[in-house]
Amino acid sequence: MLVTNLAILVLAGFVGYAVISKVPNTLHTPLMSGTNAIHGIVVLAGIVALGLGADGFLNKLLLVIAIAFGTINVVGGFLVTDRMLEMFKAKPAPPRPAADDAEGPRA
Partner 1 sequence: MIVATFLHDPDFIQVLYIIAFSLFIYGLSGLTGPKTAVRGNRIAAVGMGVALLGTFLIDGLGNWGLIILGLAIGTAVGIPAARQVKMTAMPQMVALFNGVGGGAVALVAWAEFRETGGWDLAPTYVPIFEVFAAIVGSVSFWGSNIAFGKLQEILPGRPITIGRAQSAVNLVLLAAAVACGIAIVAGSDGQLLMIGLLVFAAILGNFVVLPIGGADMPVVISLLNAFTGLSAAATGIALNNTALIVAGMIVGASGTILTNLMADAMNRSIPSIIAGGFGGVVTVGGGAADDGTEKSVRSTSAADAAIQMAYANRVVIVPGYGMAVAQAQHAVRELTKLLEAKGVEVAFAIHPVAGRMPGHMNVLLAEADVPYEQLKEMDDANGEFGRTDVSLVIGANDVTNPDARNKADSPIYGMPILNVDESASVIVLKRSMNSGFAGIDNPLFYNPKTAMLFGDAKGSVSEITEELKAL
* Range 23-62, binding partner 1 (CB under 8 A): 23-56, 58-60, 62
CB-CB contact of 46 with 63 (8 Å): yes
**Closest distance between partner 1 and the C-beta of residue 57, in Å?**
11
* First-residue to last-residue Cα distance in the chain: 75
96 binds partner 1 (CB under 8 A): no
107 binds partner 1 (CB under 8 A): no
Residues 62-81 that bind partner 1 (CB under 8 A): 62-81
**Closest distance between partner 1 and the C-beta of residue 5, in Å?**
5
Best CA proximity match to 28, nearest among 73, 36, 13: 36
Separation CA 57–CA 48 (nearest Å): 17
